[in-house]
Amino acid sequence: MNTIDAFLKGDRHDDVALYLSDSVLDTGSSLYEIGDSRREGVLVVVPGEKGRSAFQAGTGMEAMEFAGTAMDRTGDIAATLDAGSCPDAGTETVNGHAVEFIFAFTEPENPEVGGLYADGDVLHAYAHCSCGASYSHKWVIGDRSETASDGLN
């Protein structure tokens, strides 16, 4: 099993996942060499601290500060971490509402906390849209299809 698949299955709680679209990456970015090509960008899973540094280098934002801002809005982020549906898109077409980047991490099941955490490992994902909106989505790993991303951009 590769690193990305292991992360998506909840087997890499000390790592973070980063999806960066082609629109925010430099053409010669080393992430293209170490990541997995997805849709219109690259997805990479790296150790936590290194990942937060890579996120800041790629986006100009501090990862946990971004996550704190994005958690105030709920949107839909693909289980494959390479697409999303911006809550500001409303009834508009998805034109002008493309995911620029996603930052994600997992937490192990924790029955003492309750809620989703009592049901299994939880994946937290935070996305930034080309319109400027940031949003979040979290789910119990295994409750969503890891390949379902139809209709998300």
pLDDT value, residue 113: 92
CA distance 98 to 125: 16
Residue length, the chain?
153
pLDDT value, residue 38: 86
More confident call, 135 vs 55: 135
Which residue from 78, 149, 83, 144 is spatially nearest to 116, judged by alpha carbons? 144
Q: Is 19 helix (H, G, I), strand (E, B) or coil?
A: strand
Strands 15-21, 41-47: pairing is antiparallel
Structural domain boundaries of the chain?
A: 3-140
pLDDT value, residue 115: 92
pLDDT value, residue 152: 59
Which residue from 35, 42, 37, 4 is spatially nearest to 21, judged by alpha carbons? 42
Question: What pLDDT, in 10s, does the model give residues 67-122?
Answer: 999 999 999 999 999 999 999 886 444 556 889 999 999 999 999 999 999 999 99
The sign one gets for the Cα dihedral 68, 13, 10, 80 is positive
Three-class secondary structure assignment of 65-134:
HHHHHHCCCECEECCCCCCEECHHHCCCCCCCCCEEEEEEEEECCCCCCCCHHHHCCEEEEEEEECCCCE
Question: What pLDDT, in 10s, does the model give residues 23-52?
Answer: 888 777 777 788 888 878 999 999 988 888
pLDDT value, residue 53: 86
- What is the H or E stretch that residue 16 is in? strand 15-21
Which residue from 138, 126, 86, 108 is spatially nearest to 10, judged by alpha carbons? 108
